[in-house]
Structure 1
Amino acid sequence: MSGQTPNPMQRVRYICGARLPSSMLDWVRNDLTGPGAARRYLLRFLVPVIPLLCVFLLIPGPLWVGLSMMALLYLPLIFFTIALMYVYRRHRLIQHGLDPELADIRERQRAAVERAAYEERHGRG
């Protein structure tokens, strides 16, 4: 991978939604579409919320009450984070001036392979 990588301050700003300089476009492309992109996305959204949700454990009463309150907030967060992953990745690609079609490049490649295999099996290849 060529190009620059962000320093820690740039990385924090990037995670918070800031645009990185053009010299780091290769890094941004790899971050949003490369191996582990989905894992990084989920970690960035789901892990920082956990300490905030732990405040519910301070509520007096049985432990299950605090855990239930945490779950009532965390489970929908997980659902919506996964549901909006594609939209978010396209938005970030557009924000950095990259082709938004890169967000689903793996799915397109997988579909092309499946199509070729289908055509080969059925005598169209």
Structure 2
Amino acid sequence: MTRARRRPNPVEWIGYAFGRRLPDSLHDWVREDLTGKYAVARHLVRGLVPFTPLFAVFMFFPGALWLRGSMVLLAVLLALFYTAAFMPMNRAHRLAKHGLPADLENPERARKREEERARYAAQYPH
């Protein structure tokens, strides 16, 4: 019996960043990646990976270095904006693609929300 791998290799991770499905042995890693403590930061970094060829091409445009750098900065900011804006949909899609519930969330965040609901219900009964 083979042991489940803990992390994808670099080629698998790049494919994952571009939307490919990882092997079933990495479901725990996918769950942690999409719902773990730093899921938002990982999502933003992962969302920029498909744009890196575009950023590199902008550096070969003619013009002053500051102008090319400004083009890259603008492209990075736009990519971050759209990556953040579509984060919930992308997250749900990735979870479903890997056979996990699309509404899966961080267990710590779910526990805190339930505690807050219980405190509210105790303080303001029907």
How would you bin the TM-score normalised by the shorter chain?
A: 0.7 to 0.9
Greater than 6 Å deviation, 4+ residue runs: none
Q: CA deviation digits over 1:82-116, x for unaligned, max 9?
A: 11111111101100111011046665444322222
Residue 12 (structure 1) shift:
2.7
Residue 21 (structure 1) shift:
1.9
Structure 1 residues 73 and 14: alpha-carbon distance in aligned structure 2, compared to 1, 3 A threshold: closer
Q: CA deviation digits over 1:41-86, x for unaligned, max 9?
A: 1112236746743654555555553344334322221111111111
> Where in structure 2 are the equivalents of 1:9-88 lying within 5 Å?
9-46=11-48, 49=51, 52-53=54-55, 55-56=57-58, 59=61, 61=63, 64-88=66-90
Q: CA deviation digits over 1:7-42, x for unaligned, max 9?
A: 333233222222122222111111111121211111
Q: Which whole-Å CA distance do the structure 1 matches of 2:74 and 2:12 have between them?
A: 33
Runs of at least 5 residues in structure 2 that lack an aligned partner in the other structure: none
Please give the root-mean-square deviation of Cα atoms over the aligned residues, in Å: 2.9
* Secondary structure of the structure 2 residue equivalent to 1:117: helix
Q: State which drifts further: 33-42 or 91-100.
A: 33-42
Report if the CA contact (8 A) 2:47-2:83 is conserved: yes
Q: Which whole-Å CA distance do the structure 1 matches of 2:26 and 2:55 have between them?
A: 34
Q: Look up the match of 1:4.
A: 5
Alignment length (residue pairs): 122
Runs of at least 5 residues in structure 1 that lack an aligned partner in the other structure: none
Q: Which whole-Å CA distance do the structure 1 matches of 2:61 and 2:15 have between them?
A: 33
Structure 1 residues 15 and 63: alpha-carbon distance in aligned structure 2, compared to 1, 3 A threshold: closer
**TM-score (normalised: structure 1):** 0.72
Letter in 1 for 2:67: V
> Where in structure 2 are the equivalents of 1:88-99 lying within 5 Å?
88-99=90-101
Which structure carries more helix by proportion?
Answer: 1
Identity of aligned residues (%): 42
Q: Look up the match of 2:104.
A: 102
Structure 1 residues 100 and 19: alpha-carbon distance in aligned structure 2, compared to 1, 3 A threshold: same
**TM-score (normalised: structure 2):** 0.72
